Structure 1
Amino acid sequence: MSTQTAGELLRHWRLERRLSQLELAGRAETSARHLSFIETGRATPSRTMLAHLSEHLEIPLRERNRLLLAAGYAPAYAEPSLDTPAMDAVRGAMRQILVGHQPYPALAIDQSWTMIDANSGVALLLAGIDPALLNPPVNALRLSLHPDGMAGRIVNLAQWRGHVFARLSRQIEVTGSPALVELRDELLAYPGGEIDPVLPEPDQAVVPLRLLSDGHELSFLSVTTVFGTPMNVTVAELAIESFFPADEDTMKRLTAA
């Protein structure tokens, strides 16, 4: 986004959320006239008003800080490093979830899909991957779709690519992240089939990850876990991707290992 003023940023997010000035004003219990004045710079919004509008527009915390700065206010949401004492409880909770999920794979990622932590079960996903892709920072989506990564072992690659790009597009729409747009463009250039809409098979509940491992096909369901009520940027952008067996054979092979 090249916009700079608070009013321009608010208008950007209002249009991203496909709301008219009247609709947003109704939700925020203000007048459409006042909202119009804020967007055009004829009125200066208070810090409280910006926070109020941000809530109704579901603006990510990182972008709320940018909005506050554009209006001349100090950022409200810290972005501490994960290794600071203030984040001990968050790190501990992440590690507990990851370890508790073994022997099934699970990894922690940030908003850009950079791998933050992982359990021992992830080694199964990483088998045979080009070591160059494992040099930090390691990107989980690049690992899965790169031709030298997991792509050659994914049985339903075209379907999995469709799932990944649908999810990534939704994430870009929500966050407006230029880094995610750049990542999507890179991944689209990888071979692997057309990006068609993911249509369900009979009785299919979710898109599985079907992966070859030592001559056997394993099938996984992925579940995303996020922290509730985050109050800083770092926590808001963390997620845990957990993979569960999608069939009995996969469960038996992993628990017997």
Structure 2
Amino acid sequence: MSVAASARPVSPAAGSGAGPLLRAWRERRRLSQLELALRAGSSARHLSFIETGRSRPSEELLLRLAERLQVPVRERNALLLAAGYAPRYPETPLDDPALDGLRDGLERLLRGYEPYPALVVDAGYTVVAANRGIEMLLAGVPEKLLSPAPNAMRLTLHPEGLAPRIRNLRQWRGHLLAQMERDIALHRSDRLRALYEEVAGYPVPPKEPGAEPEEPVPYFALPLRVEHAGRILSFISSISTFNTPMDITVAELAVETLLPADRATAEHLRALAG
């Protein structure tokens, strides 16, 4: 799969003015006004005035507060607009020529990770790029799940996707749903909420008598254990994002790599590639 463009929704503002938005983010981070003010080089009194609408923050202070609160780039634009300032961060389509270097770098990264699986997803888990390791794992998945814009959560949890092949499905499903819950709390996206409700509603096969127990396994992290060509392959997932992004599209991309969790998995993938 090659890097492709995807549409993104604009998050709705929670309340009017920058004050309520700042207060909501501060409470979400469980910081007092004094703690946040000290981190941002301001005063608790001034921050109180901002949150209650009695004072308008400067653009510089607003961005500094957003940085200390780890507000996503998309939501920083919402803060700026609420305070009467122009948005600071563009949202460049992924197929724009301005991002040619980014796309080329991602393609090289994914190819370089082969034969191990790796993919790139956006904030809605739409797959925008993947390498041959991912295509190997998805062999046999129906075309309706692979096009026009495959979604990583659907591909993994749909009963016609990878789910029947995942040997520790209940554990892995719980991990993915918890990850989505954290993302929903962070991004406040209606599209992400709808996706969560969809995949959480997929049926989970009952445990069969004599099935392999889903108990703690001797790995340093929870593995994805998936059946492929009569073998059980074990992977540890690692997710990377871009540091200090200045564009919404770039900020919402994530590179997920599947590291072989044991020697047998690594040897099998190398043999397939060879």
TM-score normalized by structure 1? Answer: 0.92
Q: Are 1:149 and 2:161 matched, yes or no?
A: yes
- 1:169 Cα deviation from its structure 2 partner: 2.1
Match of 1:217 in 2: 232
Where do 5+ consecutive residues of structure 1 fail to align?
none
Match of 2:93 in 1: 81
Aligned-partner Cα distance in 1 for 2:15–2:160: 39
Out of 51, 65, 69, the residue aligned to residue 57 of structure 1 is: 69
Aligned-partner Cα distance in 2 for 1:204–1:171: 26
Out of 190, 200, 208, the residue aligned to residue 223 of structure 2 is: 208
Q: Deviation string for 1:201-227 (max 9, x for gaps)?
A: 254311111111122111111111222
The change in CA–CA distance for 1:121 and 1:202 in structure 2 (over 3 A counts) is closer
Alignment of 1:115-126 (within 5 A): 115-126=127-138
Q: Is the 8 A contact 1:225 1:240 kept in 2?
A: yes
Alignment of 1:86-125 (within 5 A): 86-125=98-137
- 1:158 Cα deviation from its structure 2 partner: 0.5
Q: Are 1:172 and 2:184 matched, yes or no?
A: yes
Q: CA RMSD in A?
A: 1.8
- 1:134 Cα deviation from its structure 2 partner: 1.3
**Higher RCO, 1 or 2 (CA under 8 Å, sep at least 6)?**
2
Match of 2:256 in 1: 241
Match of 1:23 in 2: 35
Q: Are 1:136 and 2:151 matched, yes or no?
A: no
Out of 226, 230, 233, the residue aligned to residue 245 of structure 2 is: 230
Q: Deviation string for 1:29-68 (max 9, x for gaps)?
A: 2121211111111111111111111011110000000111
- 1:193 Cα deviation from its structure 2 partner: 6.9
Q: Are 1:162 and 2:174 matched, yes or no?
A: yes
Secondary structure of the 2:234 match is strand
The change in CA–CA distance for 1:105 and 1:202 in structure 2 (over 3 A counts) is closer
Q: Is the 8 A contact 1:221 1:246 kept in 2?
A: yes
- The code of the aligned residue for 1:89 comes to G
- The code of the aligned residue for 2:16 comes to Q
Q: Is the 8 A contact 1:59 1:175 kept in 2?
A: no
Q: Is the 8 A contact 1:25 1:31 kept in 2?
A: yes
Q: Is the 8 A contact 1:153 1:211 kept in 2?
A: yes
Aligned-partner Cα distance in 2 for 1:68–1:96: 36
Q: Is the 8 A contact 2:122 2:254 kept in 1?
A: yes
Secondary structure of the 2:38 match is helix
Aligned-partner Cα distance in 1 for 2:28–2:189: 13
Q: Deviation string for 1:59-80 (max 9, x for gaps)?
A: 0000000111111111000111
How many correspondences in the alignment?
253
